[in-house]
Structure 1
């Protein structure tokens, strides 16, 4: 939530305005979406989900590559031996997928989120030591045995996959295990591997993923929580060929908190209320019971939905009062916003009354990309009240206008 409160001091003789303002195959994802007020369509998604798997074992490497991993306890097993030259396809869903999330407290309010798998890791386990399979003498580096088995170690990812593990690392001292992580660009379909020796049996012990998230039309998001899920299938989305998965799918359950920033810039810090024809006309021709008026320009520098509310130093009935110390009169306050800003029914906002409690202005949203044209606050002492104002005195008061993205 971002709440901006502007303090207004009103007067006539009248003075002015001051602005201040798991289940094995399910991952629970916690994140924040922070739309960029200065860049409609831009947003930062901060992933607060605890890191597990590869990046807990190799934090330095992940930090250098700006990776984060989460483990799904899905394993893959060969049903028998893997012959020489047999292709394990390793197909990954690296392209962006779109799905819908729903606002947790506003019925019917939805948003579109995109996800893609940007990196994949695993720990493979051989049914016997790599040294025994390739038949090389005991005492050599374990990494070399694994490299010989595959012709190129799994550190050397098959293009277009890219390596995310340092050369010479990944081989476990037990001789059977090898831990690896690959980056998967958007053009990835498969990154196949084939052994140069018959492997009696093999399994992938786990599935680590680095995933990316982005919001579609973030300028339309409303502050609060959105929830939704996306499921990938094993065998189609993740294609490991003859290696059989222990689970048919993996699911991301998303709980995303939208934290909007609403930015407003006032064109001045004072508003003077005066007759439409000016004070000289009033003085020259005698006092007339006409309205006292004043407008203030302001600029909405955000694209996020927000609500407006009104509070007063001297509250009246639905609006604020100004006073000369012994007598007070009401000031009608209204607001006009440029296109594409509309209310929750899709109607334009032109000289819309701004009342205590903000009725009617509880969900102001853009119907398109904002253009940063000026908005106006309108202030008026009604004609009937002007008749009652005491001559020779100044009336003033302070009002507070809140712009709040927590709708």
Structure 2
């Protein structure tokens, strides 16, 4: 049998440091009626109710020595790694899962009172049947859950599994027939860091074997009606990458530090033309940056005078807000932007940056400015497209 487990990550401005997935898989079984039961010492787990039936194939003998000849549970309580892959990009990540607990309801075809000789209440009969310890009291290394419902012929229970090992009950009376109609599977997830993953859906699978000597083992007497549990994992990453430029910010006018007045009044040549254009960026993962140009000058853009055809290159660089770094973990300050994207192939948000302030720096240096002034040009223009690309 199989079950799907789905978890999602969407950045939340109210919790920018959150870098965990949210498991949106509906609970069934133990966690469903009382979700608080599935919060153990601050560690939350979830549960499935699986229609796996365990039925005894022979009588369980009173005082049996070998736990495999009685009622026992052994499940994978240690973490297991599962690789998930993004089908679109081929990118992979690793999640982990463990059995946090298991439970069921044992059914007796002969009442507990009758099995122990009568003359007692069902509560006492269930205790005596298992050596004075009812099923709400989990045998080591399992630990008690918060469930223990019973009547004369049934007992519903759940045990926590914090360590690998066999959790076994020894019968004090012969039990001709024993039947478990379902299996509650409590599981805990450790998901990868979504801030290190590209947007998209990641999928992977893990199969647990069921039966004597297998991953899920109830001994040699209680045999299952299914031999495998396959879990299909779906991790959905929905990152934010949004850039807002103030109104009019798409029109960049390059000018000297002190304006054009000194040049107009005294002929004093300015040393450079520049403009710093601010923008807001919201980012929760990796991205890269590059340029596209109307006019090209090597690996950068150019502006040109339509009358003379003269063109000069424009240096474009970027400064990014705190929380976004380069691959070496260094802040991004006046990082040169080029057409081929070299040097800006990867920027990483360490947490969700919500409308952080960044700056684009445009500059024509001294030598090229001198060319413009000496060439007699009048008006230099050109389109420069700055690209923020989440497809890293």
| Whole-angstrom CA distance in 2 between matches of 1:265 and 1:188 | 53
Among 136, 148, 168, the alignment partner of 2:128 is 148
What are the Cα deviations for residues 227-274 of structure 1, in whole angstroms up to 9, with x where unaligned?
1011112233222222222222211101110133559999xx999844
Equivalent in the alignment of 1:183: 160
Normalised by the size of structure 1, how large is the TM-score?
0.67
Among 62, 75, 88, the alignment partner of 1:92 is 75
Q: Are 2:263 and 2:270, in contact at CA under 8 Å, matched by a contact in 1?
A: no
Q: Pick the structure with greater CA Rg.
A: 2
Equivalent in the alignment of 1:221: 197
Distance 1:286 1:402, change over 3 A: same
Q: Are 1:305 and 1:363, in contact at CA under 8 Å, matched by a contact in 2?
A: no
| Whole-angstrom CA distance in 1 between matches of 2:255 and 2:279 | 20
Gaps in structure 1 of 5+ consecutive residues: 1-24, 322-328, 343-348
Report deviation, 1:333.
4.3
Report deviation, 1:289.
8.4
In the TM superposition, 1:3-402 aligns within 5 A as: 25-34=1-10, 39=17, 43-56=19-32, 58-59=33-34, 62=37, 67-86=45-64, 87=67, 88-107=71-90, 109-137=91-119, 140=121, 142-150=122-130, 151-166=132-147, 169-171=148-150, 173=151, 175-185=152-162, 187-234=163-210, 235-242=213-220, 243-261=222-240, 273-275=254-256, 282=263, 286=267, 288=269, 292-295=273-276, 304-306=285-287, 333-335=316-318, 339-340=326-327, 350-353=335-338, 364=346, 366=348, 377-380=360-363, 383=369, 388=377
| Whole-angstrom CA distance in 1 between matches of 2:161 and 2:149 | 19
What are the Cα deviations for residues 370-391 of structure 1, in whole angstroms up to 9, with x where unaligned?
9x9x976332368577865569
What are the Cα deviations for residues 105-132 of structure 1, in whole angstroms up to 9, with x where unaligned?
213x111111111121212222322222
Counterpart secondary structure, 1:170: strand
Q: Name which structure has the greater RCO, CA cutoff 8 Å, separation 6+.
A: 1
Gaps in structure 2 of 5+ consecutive residues: 304-311
Report deviation, 1:70.
0.7
Counterpart secondary structure, 2:4: strand
Report deviation, 1:217.
4.4
Paired residues in the alignment total 345
What are the Cα deviations for residues 153-196 of structure 1, in whole angstroms up to 9, with x where unaligned?
11112234222224xx421x4x32222112222x3423222222
Normalised by the size of structure 2, how large is the TM-score?
0.69
| Whole-angstrom CA distance in 2 between matches of 1:162 and 1:255 | 30
| Whole-angstrom CA distance in 1 between matches of 2:391 and 2:318 | 20
Q: Are 2:240 and 2:282, in contact at CA under 8 Å, matched by a contact in 1?
A: no
